[in-house]
A and B are shown apart, each in its own frame.
Chain A
Amino acid sequence: MAENKIIVASTPFMRNGETAHCMMFDVALAALPAALCSVYYFGVRVLAIMLAGMLSAALTEAAVQIVFKCRSFDYRDFVFSFFTREEVTVMDGSAAVTGLLLAFTLPPTVPLWIPVVGAAFGVVVAKQLFGGLGDNIFNPALAGRAFLLAAWPGLMTLWQSPGLWAAAGAVDAVSSATPLGTLASGGGATSLVQLALGNVGGCLGETSTAALLLGAAYLLYKRTITWHAPAGFFAAMTVACLLLGHDPLFHLCAGGAMLGALFMATDPVTSPVTPIGRILFGCGAGLITMVIRLYGAYPEGVCYAILIMNSLSPLIDRCTARRFKPDQVEVPLVDFITKK
């Protein structure tokens, strides 16, 4: 009789089946309504921008992992190695999501090499140089956007009016301002209905508030994100607006506030772990956004606000974690049960 083969491993043996793949798939699915809205308003060319961003991010990540991380990679048996080596984790989809979210923050008029360069920068410099998924300090998509905005400010602020199917494919600058740009240059506020529908100028994915909220509701249902960071973000923006005499609803719906609060500030890797920390993180990002919007040179400040708070999140984590005395042992339930 053959021997039993008993594998000794520490419990627990059960998992609920969630992996990084699932979370990234959820985010991509949640971004779908916003992507469809942007195609509807800005034409099919935005699909090319999104695809360029996703492909560039995924290919760069794969290249970095194959060349620098995976020592045992066998180039002669490329496909097998690609799918079996632990170090090659590009199939978890995090790079593709980075590329997609980066594309969401670009104007619809950008040439196709802009998302390619931005996604590559975000993945290589902001993510892989820090150690890959889980070890990055800054949100790679926002880091890529910050880089692009600093390097090619002209291309990054060329807006297109929505609803121009005829203009699809044309890179001719259809000069049209974003709602925040109009406000900064002294114009009036855009109507809230237009902002909710997304029928305004702006970056690809940020215009339609309703679509973004739909996606966020899905993410909340799947427990991929928590409500804390967006709640803090919106609360801080509302309070700041009310104190400074601006319309809070307009500021919440205009520009990248929705995209930033619901998709960027909820990025688990670069935000704090504790619930209170997440609320603080959102509050800080909301405040900095309002400061940049109202007093800064840029009309929009979500990107920089979240990047600044990203750098603070380890500190926030440390300050908000629950502390115990060295010999303190908390026994849950028991005091609760024994209380009469």
Chain B
Amino acid sequence: MDGLRPTFTRRPWSPAPHMAPQGTAMYMPVPEKVELPLQDLPGDSYEVLVSTGDYVRAGQKIGTMGISPKFLAVHTPCSGRVSAIEPRVHESGGERRVLAVEITAIADQEGEPEIPFSRFHGDRRMFLREMGVLLDFEALETARSLVVNCTEFEPTISTRSAIVTGNPDGFARGLELLMEAAGLPEVTLLVHQDDAGMQERLGAIARSVRGARIKALRQACPDTLQPLLSYRQRLSGRPVPAVILGPGQVFAVYQAFELGQPYMRQLVSVAGSAVPTPRNIWVYAGTALADILKHAGVAFPFAGRVALGGPMMGGPRYSLESGIGRRVRGLYAGAGIFLADERKSRFYQPCSCVRCGKCAEVCPAGITPIAVVEQVKFHHPDRALEFGLLSCLECGLCVYVCPSQLPLVEIIKLGKLQTKGRESLLVYNIFKTMSS
């Protein structure tokens, strides 16, 4: 139910995971071309190690985002020829251009090189940077605890449970390796209290891993907690107390240390009302969205809305040509593609706020969204800050429950732009892997 027409039953507070893909994940065959960005935002520094026309082998390092020592290596996921090194449209859309390497694929997995950990003299973090594993390295230096968020906030995404279910041993080993790399003795696994299957699986993992414990939550935890922590650190100088990761990152750590594989693939949920069968697909880094959607069985051409990251917090896309990155607007891309066909309803005209207070009841950040929105609307940015504008997680639950169909999150993002010059948490680069 994407709420197309009014329902007269009891309405839920948060979306149920009814469109999330079920079953085992599939592997996508090698696409025609991949596009690997070397910049996170325009103006970031980068280093290119290949030139146009070069032949590259799968797993080969083609460049770095940022420069040493703050860098993240970029590896090509498939063998092929470098066809272009030029500015391409940034994944968040708009006018931004970032430098990207386009590789026309020729073959799959041809002699994938293994990068041994022994070459790094025990420097685990440098090794992870070299393997292209996206972690908040700066926060790892100071953080006092590790948290792995295994709750699915987005109703159409099930990549977290797919990773934990698909390879529990790898996930458990990844937790151990991650604790070693961070130098912390404990890790907390967040799980939704209603998700019995996940609790059971994580319970088994927590028993086998020393220092792992489970925390059952009443409400799924949005991914923007980590950007909010970094944001608070930037504003007030308070150190980041916890690093919050997704299972996808834990699994990437496992792959890097145990299998010697750099970051080359990621698990993506493809779901939505225009997708015939929702699926979890392991895709190659940099695969164009159009290729992924075609592989998922979407009928082209279509008219609809595409969001990278899910229907609640995802970033809207206006082009299907650019590749899927390792981060989705500030979040680790253990994410999904949501494709909704466009249907209109005359019931969904925004009207004046009826002041029901439901936005405040569901807000996980504990603010009153409508109070903030009113102040932003009437051009009182100072008062908006007073009502907790900066604490907003942009999770979208307030919009989900709003009977007046108000675009609350959009106005709050606008307020952030007006007060602090920051558009939104989701474009905030929390992974300070780049030296910019």
Within 8 A of B (CB), among A122-156: 131-135
Within 8 A of B (CB), among A198-226: 221-224, 226
List chain B residues, Cβ under 8 A from A11.
Answer: 307, 309-316, 396, 409
Instruction: Pick out which of these stretches binds chain B: A246-254, A287-295, A326-334.
Output: A326-334
List chain A residues, Cβ under 8 A from B367.
Answer: 322, 324, 330
**Complex alpha-carbon distance, A25 and B312, angstroms:** 27
Contact of B371 among A14, A16, A273 (CB under 8 A): A273
**Complex alpha-carbon distance, A268 and B360, angstroms:** 13
**Complex alpha-carbon distance, A337 and B186, angstroms:** 12
- Report if B8 contacts A (CB, 8 A): yes
List chain B residues, Cβ under 8 A from A133.
Answer: 351-352, 354
A8 adjacent to B318 (CB under 8 Å)? yes
* Residue of chain A at shortest CB distance from B313: A11
B403 adjacent to A334 (CB under 8 Å)? no
- Report if A188 contacts B (CB, 8 A): no
List chain B residues, Cβ under 8 A from A332.
Answer: 225, 364-366, 393
- Report if A338 contacts B (CB, 8 A): yes
**Complex alpha-carbon distance, A13 and B215, angstroms:** 30
A337 adjacent to B215 (CB under 8 Å)? yes
- Report if B303 contacts A (CB, 8 A): yes
Within 8 A of B (CB), among A19-36: 19-23, 25-26
Smallest CB separation, A105 vs chain B (Å)? 21
A14 adjacent to B144 (CB under 8 Å)? no
Smallest CB separation, B93 vs chain A (Å)? 7
Smallest CB separation, B398 vs chain A (Å)? 9
Contact of A134 among B15, B232, B399, B404 (CB under 8 A): B404
Contact of B387 among A3, A17, A324, A337 (CB under 8 A): A324
On chain A, the number of residues with a Cβ less than 8 Å from chain B's Cβ atoms is: 64
Q: How many A-B residue pairs have CB under 8 A?
A: 240
- Report if B340 contacts A (CB, 8 A): yes
Smallest CB separation, A306 vs chain B (Å)? 15
- Report if A74 contacts B (CB, 8 A): no
A15 adjacent to B354 (CB under 8 Å)? no
Smallest CB separation, B263 vs chain A (Å)? 26
B316 adjacent to A322 (CB under 8 Å)? no
A89 adjacent to B351 (CB under 8 Å)? yes
* Residue of chain B at shortest CB distance from A16: B11
- Report if B3 contacts A (CB, 8 A): yes
* Residue of chain A at shortest CB distance from B298: A4
- Report if A164 contacts B (CB, 8 A): no
**Complex alpha-carbon distance, A26 and B405, angstroms:** 18
* Residue of chain B at shortest CB distance from A222: B10
- Report if A193 contacts B (CB, 8 A): no
Within 8 A of A (CB), among B1-27: 1-8, 10-13, 15
Smallest CB separation, B155 vs chain A (Å)? 7
A23-B356, A134-B352 as given contacts; A5 in contact with B316, CB under 8 Å: no
Smallest CB separation, A281 vs chain B (Å)? 12
List chain B residues, Cβ under 8 A from A331.
Answer: 225, 228-229, 232, 391
List chain B residues, Cβ under 8 A from A170.
Answer: none
Smallest CB separation, A174 vs chain B (Å)? 40
B406-431 toward A: CB 8 Å interface, digit per residue (1/0)?
Answer: 01011001000000000000000000
B3 adjacent to A334 (CB under 8 Å)? no
Smallest CB separation, A133 vs chain B (Å)? 6
* Residue of chain A at shortest CB distance from B339: A6
* Residue of chain A at shortest CB distance from B147: A337
**Complex alpha-carbon distance, A14 and B236, angstroms:** 34
B405 adjacent to A19 (CB under 8 Å)? yes
A4 adjacent to B347 (CB under 8 Å)? no
B228 adjacent to A15 (CB under 8 Å)? no
**Complex alpha-carbon distance, A12 and B403, angstroms:** 14
B93 adjacent to A17 (CB under 8 Å)? no
A16 adjacent to B12 (CB under 8 Å)? yes
B229 adjacent to A334 (CB under 8 Å)? yes
* Residue of chain B at shortest CB distance from A92: B351
A10-B316, A12-B396 as given contacts; A333 in contact with B225, CB under 8 Å: yes
List chain B residues, Cβ under 8 A from A77.
Answer: none
* Residue of chain A at shortest CB distance from B224: A331
List chain B residues, Cβ under 8 A from A322.
Answer: 366-368, 387-388
List chain B residues, Cβ under 8 A from A222.
Answer: 10-11
- Report if A172 contacts B (CB, 8 A): no
A327 adjacent to B236 (CB under 8 Å)? yes
- Report if A79 contacts B (CB, 8 A): no
* Residue of chain A at shortest CB distance from B221: A333
Smallest CB separation, B241 vs chain A (Å)? 5
B399 adjacent to A15 (CB under 8 Å)? yes
B225 adjacent to A13 (CB under 8 Å)? no
List chain A residues, Cβ under 8 A from B118.
Answer: none
- Report if B170 contacts A (CB, 8 A): no
* Residue of chain B at shortest CB distance from A132: B352
Contact of A13 among B13, B338, B413 (CB under 8 A): B338
A134-B352, A326-B382, A332-B366 as given contacts; A25 in contact with B3, CB under 8 Å: no
**Complex alpha-carbon distance, A149 and B4, angstroms:** 43
List chain A residues, Cβ under 8 A from B120.
Answer: none
A10 adjacent to B407 (CB under 8 Å)? yes
**Complex alpha-carbon distance, A330 and B93, angstroms:** 30
A330 adjacent to B15 (CB under 8 Å)? no
**Complex alpha-carbon distance, A107 and B386, angstroms:** 48
Within 8 A of A (CB), among B302-334: 302-307, 309-320
- Report if B178 contacts A (CB, 8 A): no
- Report if A2 contacts B (CB, 8 A): yes
Contact of A22 among B8, B145, B188, B342 (CB under 8 A): B8
Contact of A274 among B145, B155, B304, B360 (CB under 8 A): B360
List chain A residues, Cβ under 8 A from B100.
Answer: none
List chain A residues, Cβ under 8 A from B229.
Answer: 331, 334
**Complex alpha-carbon distance, A21 and B221, angstroms:** 31
A273 adjacent to B368 (CB under 8 Å)? yes
B390 adjacent to A10 (CB under 8 Å)? no
List chain B residues, Cβ under 8 A from A13.
Answer: 2, 305, 307, 311-312, 338, 340
A22 adjacent to B314 (CB under 8 Å)? no
Give me 15 other A-B pairs in contact (C-beta within 8 A), A7-B342, A268-B357, A329-B390 excluded: A6-B306, A6-B320, A7-B303, A11-B307, A13-B2, A14-B155, A17-B1, A22-B7, A134-B351, A223-B10, A321-B371, A321-B387, A323-B386, A333-B364, A335-B241
> Closest 3 A-B residue pairs measured CB to CB?
A134-B352, A15-B3, A12-B396
